[in-house]
A and B are shown apart, each in its own frame.
Chain A
Amino acid sequence: MISYIIIYGLVNSVTLALIAIGFSLTFGISGVANFAYGGFYLLSGYLTWMLLNYLKLPLVLAVFLTVGIVALIGFLTYWVILLRVRGIPLSEVIATFALGVGILELFRWAGFVTYEFTLPIFIKGGIEIAGVPLDYQRLFIIGIGLALVIFLYIFTHHTRIGLSFRGIAQNEHTAISLGIESDWTAALSLSLGSAMAGLAAIAILPLGIISINVGYDVLLIAVAIGIVGGLESVPGILVASLILGYAQVITGLYLSPEWMMVVYLAAIVIVLAIKPSGLFGKFKQLEERV
């Protein structure tokens, strides 16, 4: 039982982190809350499905194409829509939210709701760790999650673009005065966040069917983990994913799987009551802003 909780808790935590990290990254860098995140996630799922089934592409090619296309869509979202309303939170929030809902409901209308819409798992089969069976797909998720965190660390600490991301995140005006372009960086951050949504979708969706509600759930999960961990903080996201991931597995085991969504609500309520800016969140409290 203990080994089950440890292993599946880890799988669940990494899944949650994979889902949440793209949203948090975009918000942390450019301050844009990308409410179209769930839409992009599901769009990637259906895009891969279409590339595989209509064009009969090999899986690897389809994966790279999907991530590239979704990144481009994220970039264009910023350049076409958000650039015009930048700095007006009301318009930014409404525009991205409407885009996300629009994408999801368009797929629902187009009839992408039946059971045939599933993505293939990468390699069939599984292994047994400490008496707990674990399939390769879940191992892949853990691997992708770890690789992503390492990639992000290297990217933001040792590359030119990554450093300019952090510069904009820390102080936009100083960064601009040093020649870092704010709009370009923000568009790239949205693009990167969308690409991560795509990557998460391709890794996680093979475990179930692709349905429209998954899109809303993903946004819900990303936001819930953001609230608990602190929206703009990557360490906060990781810690919150671990806490919520294990809490969910334990709840699912001892109560019932439906209660897993209740964990989010409980966590949000508790965190908001104790530390509204999230466990690792900073600069969000009004008093700290001066």
Chain B
Amino acid sequence: MQISSENILLMGSLLLLLTILASKTSFKLGIPALIVFLGIGMLAGSDGPGGIYFDDPKLAQFIGIFSLCFILFAGGFETKWESVKPIFWRGISLATIGVFVTALSTGLFLHFVIGLEFIYALLIGSIISSTDAAAVFSILRTKDIGLDHQTRSTLEFESGSNDPMAYILMLACINIITSGEMQIGEQIFFLVKQMVIGGVFGYALGRGGVYLINKINLSYEGLYSVLVTALLLFVFSITDLLGGNGFLAVYLFGVILANSSLIHKKSLVKFFDGIAWMMQSIMFLTLGLLVYPMQILPVLWAGIMISLFLMFVARPAGVMISLLFTKINFREKIFFSWVGLRGAVPIVFATYPYIYGIKDADLIFNVVFFISLSSVLIQGTTLPFFARKMKLVVHESERKKTPLELELSESIKTELMEFFVPHGSAIAGMRIVDLHFPRNAHIAMINRDEKFITPSGNTVLHEGDILIIMAEEKDVLRSVSDILSKRIDKPEEKPDAGETTPVESSPDS
């Protein structure tokens, strides 16, 4: 079957539905959801029972890049600076030196052992040198491995920020291949330029974006998601256009937004979390459709050898060298080495050789595809086991949840506010039912002596109680305040500090 504009919605929606249903069982079986997504794409594709014919690397690449923009942005948007700060330098080191060492050692292996021309060997090494943010995030989070906070932050930060380095190395190799010259100096300049422009643009546009989002004053909350979508695509494309690294810029853009005070942040975080999942599903499905599993067979042996080398030599070497000057212990480094999950990013990168007309581009694509698949399958499923083996599992003390953790403040209409029952208030000693609260205000809870109690109409209020009041509008809170502020008619003592009134002076100074 050919994908056409008429049937794309039907096929797309069916595939997405299947994917979601399958991901439910995959969690139970401990298979990373990503594999399921890819698998369904492959089954639906031309070599599988689905028989959907899709062979357009250019479109697949566009979908890949488009999705990556959102995935990287969402990754950045969830990054809290406080958790990155203590591990910033080791993360950066892993994302640059680590990636370089992994790419180079894989390249050398391919050149000397498999006998590939060095620059092609390095090209493949570069393509598979970055770990995949989508894979790492989803596996570390869904698997519920009780990893220690710093370990997890380091791995997540690394995976979010190492794609640019891999991308630049890959483009440098492609430049050398297409121009036929080994201009090392130029490529180093290219690398620095990509990083610097990407970094500066990501940061500056992030700052500007925060200002714009907070000042623009749109009339509908939903428009803010549209605004941020437009901004992040703009950040990627303008940076790319001006010779910077768009992936780095869009990731940084997310980090800056996440760590500034931003209007409607909660709804934006939710929106982009959903979008990131959707983009991941679409991207993996597309990549699964693009690959012809039958064509992987000829490169199977090479794939297995590279996979093993990558898992047991190249990635560990990258980790060990880039973390040489840190105080991280050896067991933890071994674990870091095992979290070298390749995923969609290398597969998207592997479409570049097609676009640039590099010879044997389909071989490269198939090898990379196989390596990514085996990495997520083998390393992804054994991670929890490894974490326990390396004694890195900490049992987080379970956080007690009270009903208040329901994020009530998120809906615009509901206000949640705490009120003290003041000393000397006429309502102390009264039953709630006798207070005559406004109809649209409720006492959701009472905290008395640090304990939450559930109020009923018969509950008698005490001085010093804290009432958590839920009201539909802010105005209602005023009438609640008036009720709570009723004074006992005859104060026991005369005030000794001038005139006091229960009515508030408004603080507009």
A binds B: no
Residues of A whose CB lies within 8 Å of any CB of B are none
